């Protein structure tokens, strides 16, 4: 994944860059998933989540450091700004009523209104990390 693209790489692209067989890369992806470092797509060995990034569109769109990326949740959206040490605009919506919301990060400070609700305690996140 490059920070500029905002998306995880495909296994074939990693294999090409590293001069490896794609099956070796997907095997590595699986080991990383088993260690809770990545989350793979349900039906393919491709990356779904490389925290804090999502490989698929989500309700958390982050604009930071000249890139547009999808985050898995609000916590991850803030994590993208923190990882990049950059100001950011986060576009999302209220999970309850659907009202659009914009959160900004400026000089490492969060600016905006609202709250973050975690549906499960942190200790349970990996039970169903895609839902969480």
Q: pTM of the predicted model, to two decimals? A: 0.84
- pLDDT (tens digit, 9 = 90+) per residue, 13-59? 999 999 999 999 999 999 999 999 999 999 999 999 998 999 999 99
pLDDT at residue 2, as a whole number = 54
pLDDT at residue 58, as a whole number = 94
The first and second tokens of residue 41, run together, are 């797509």
Residue 78 has pLDDT above 80, yes or no: yes
Mean per-residue pLDDT, 87-113: 92
Domain 53-122 has CATH 3.15.10.60: yes
Q: Which residue has the tokens 């895609």?
A: 130
Q: What is the CA radius of gyration of the chain?
A: 16
3-state secondary structure the chain: CCCCCCCCCCHHHHHHHHCCCHHHHHHHHHHHHHCCCCEECCCCCCEEEECCEECCCCCEEEEECCEEEEECCHHHHHHHHHHHCCCEEEEEECCCCCCEEEEEEECCEEECCCCCCCCCCHHHHHHCCCCC
Average pLDDT, the chain: 90
Spell out the domain ranges in the chain.
11-49, 53-122
Residue 3 has pLDDT above 70, yes or no: no
Per-residue buried b or exposed e for 115-126, using 16+ beta carbons within 10 Å of the residue's own CB = eeeeeeeeeebe
Give dist(CA 99, CA 110) in Å, integer: 19
């Amino acid at each position: 994944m490059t920070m500029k693209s905002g998306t995880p790489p495909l296994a074939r692209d990693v294999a090409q860059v590293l001069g490896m067989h794609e099956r070796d890369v997907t095997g590595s992806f699986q080991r990383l998933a088993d260690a809770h470092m990545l989350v793979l797509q349900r039906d393919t060995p491709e990356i779904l989540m490389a925290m804090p990034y999502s490989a698929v569109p989500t309700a958390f769109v982050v604009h930071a450091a000249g890139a547009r990326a999808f985050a898995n949740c609000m916590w991850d959206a803030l994590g993208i700004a923190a990882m990049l040490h950059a100001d950011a605009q986060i576009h999302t919506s209220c999970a309850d009523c659907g009202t659009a919301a914009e959160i900004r990060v400026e000089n490492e400070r969060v600016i905006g209104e609202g709250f973050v609700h975690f549906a499960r305690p942190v200790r349970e996140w990996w039970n169903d990390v895609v839902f969480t």
